[in-house]
């Protein structure tokens, strides 16, 4: 394992089982100091479980968790330099804002004068001046969430864990709080590990996103990497909208692949593929184009079945001759194509991304490992023969 100084949280082969069922599988993750890292994935994929293991509320079945380079297996939650903000706020209903925020410091027997000063500083930070004496029942969802954040930050944790903290807010307030939280994190320079199932939220706020599916981290990268270069079919379809097409490589000329799909033929740029390989390709709706006349190298045919108005773009649904439906983003100024019109579907060959399935990736890992094991075996064997 590398020992980079800037890694503040490290998970090594972490697994969690409930009643014999693995809900987090071989998770390896390095979170850098000062980073805004998001765990993104659908409900039930293991995000909360992962966060609870980092916080110390739950023990890993196997693997190791390090905070600032030290294994924290034996540390209780309050002995770890992390704090958690939950979706349901978990405020004390009988206490006012000030007392809720001060709670952690009172517990730690911090001197009264210092508590007062630090609470005032937090109230200013989360913009709740004038609300000091209010009780949770007298505040909006957004205000309550600010109290919860202030209460976690007042302990000056190295890492703040946030589990769907904006999940209970309406869309407009959520968007506003996303920006506020991001600015707060930048200002304080604290490491945030943020959990959400909302891909748009993850793309807006994060420095890096770890995409999880069924207990497996399928990809980690910047929002740009995850959106523009998804590595798996799942990531391509979960992050942003995408059209996934199964195809077969018919011919390879340099980096240009000629592919065959059920609904026709097409071309795309991608290095390193061989003739006769089966591949999944992903084309974003904004990268698909329609034409009533044939386009060179493309023969994918379909029929327009619906136009969905979505503000600045129109999502046109095209049904291919094999029944698969594609979504094409078009602008109001483009040539009007009536429902029922037959069209050719094409794209810029550089704008189609090849995605692998997880099964293929697991297969690659097994293959690498068996190569490694084979090498070790050979090394060991040659060592013993030398001794003889």
Residues 41-100 that bind ligand ADP (CB under 6 A): 41, 43-49
Cβ atoms of 118 and 66 closer than 8 Å: no
Residues 37-56 that bind Mg ion (CB under 5 A): 48
Give CA separation, 195 vs 38, 53, 207, 209, in Å. 6, 13, 13, 10
Cβ atoms of 314 and 329 closer than 8 Å: yes
Using only C-alpha atoms, what is the Rg of the chain? 26
Q: Any residues with CB less than 8 A from the CB of 58 and at least 6 apart, and which?
A: 16, 49, 52
- From 354, 351, 226, 353, select the one nearest 289 (Cα to Cα): 351
Residues 337-356 that bind ligand ADP (CB under 6 A): none
Alpha helices in the chain (DSSP H): 47-55, 97-107, 112-125, 141-153, 171-188, 199-205, 223-228, 233-238, 358-387
Which partner, Mg ion, ligand ADP, none, binds residue 45 by CB below 5 to 8 Å per kind?
ligand ADP
Nearer to Mg ion, 87 or 228 (CB): 87
CB of 219 to ligand ADP, least distance (A): 16
Give CA separation, 133 vs 9, 34, 96, 305, 328, in Å. 37, 33, 5, 58, 53
Is residue 191 a contact residue for Mg ion (CB under 5 A)?
A: no
Residues 5-44 that bind ligand ADP (CB under 6 A): 18, 23, 41, 43-44
Nearer to Mg ion, 48 or 316 (CB): 48
Nearer to ligand ADP, 41 or 56 (CB): 41
Nearer to Mg ion, 197 or 284 (CB): 197
CB of 45 to Mg ion, least distance (A): 9
Q: How many residues bind Mg ion (CB under 5 A)?
A: 1
CB of 121 to Mg ion, least distance (A): 31
Nearer to Mg ion, 195 or 235 (CB): 195
Rule CB under 5 A: which residues touch Mg ion? 48
Rule CB under 6 A: which residues touch ligand ADP? 18, 23, 41, 43-49
């Amino acid at each position: 394992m590398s020992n980079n100084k800037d890694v503040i949280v490290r998970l090594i082969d972490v697994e969690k089982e409930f009643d014999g069922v693995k809900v987090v599988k071989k998770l390896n993750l390095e979170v850098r100091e000062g980073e805004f890292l998001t765990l993104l994935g659908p409900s039930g994929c293991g995000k909360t479980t992962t966060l609870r293991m980092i916080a110390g509320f739950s023990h890993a079945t196997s693997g190791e968790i390090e905070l600032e380079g030290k294994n924290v297996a034996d540390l209780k939650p309050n002995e770890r330099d992390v704090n958690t903000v939950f979706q349901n706020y978990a405020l004390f209903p009988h206490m006012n804002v000030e007392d809720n925020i001060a709670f952690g410091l009172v517990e730690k027997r911090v001197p009264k004068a210092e508590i007062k000063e630090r609470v005032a500083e937090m109230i200013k930070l989360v913009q709740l001046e004038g609300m000091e004496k209010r009780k949770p029942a007298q505040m909006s969802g957004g205000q309550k969430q600010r109290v919860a954040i202030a209460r976690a930050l007042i302990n000056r944790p190295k890492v703040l864990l946030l589990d769907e903290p904006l999940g209970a807010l309406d869309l407009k307030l959520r968007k506003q709080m996303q920006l506020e939280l991001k600015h707060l994190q930048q200002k304080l320079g604290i490491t945030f590990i943020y959990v959400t199932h909302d891909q748009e939220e993850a793309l807006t706020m994060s420095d890096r996103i770890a995409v999880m599916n069924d207990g497996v981290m399928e990809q980690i990268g910047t929002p740009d990497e995850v959106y523009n270069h998804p590595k798996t079919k799942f990531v391509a379809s979960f992050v942003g909208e995408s059209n996934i097409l199964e195809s077969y490589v018919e011919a390879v000329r340099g980096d240009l692949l000629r592919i065959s799909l059920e609904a026709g033929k097409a071309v795309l740029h991608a290095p390193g593929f061989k003739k006769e390989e089966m591949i999944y390709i992903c084309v974003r709706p904004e990268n698909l184009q329609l034409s009533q006349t044939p386009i060179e190298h493309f023969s994918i045919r379909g029929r327009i079945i619906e136009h969905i108005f979505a503000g600045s773009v129109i999502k046109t649904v095209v049904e291919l001759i094999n029944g698969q439906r594609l979504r094409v983003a078009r602008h109001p100024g483009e040539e009007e194509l009536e429902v029922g019109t037959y069209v050719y579907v094409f794209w810029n060959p550089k704008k189609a991304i090849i995605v692998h399935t997880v099964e293929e990736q697991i297969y690659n890992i097994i293959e690498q490992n068996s190569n490694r094991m084979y090498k070790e075996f050979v090394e060991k064997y040659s060592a013993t023969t030398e001794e003889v």
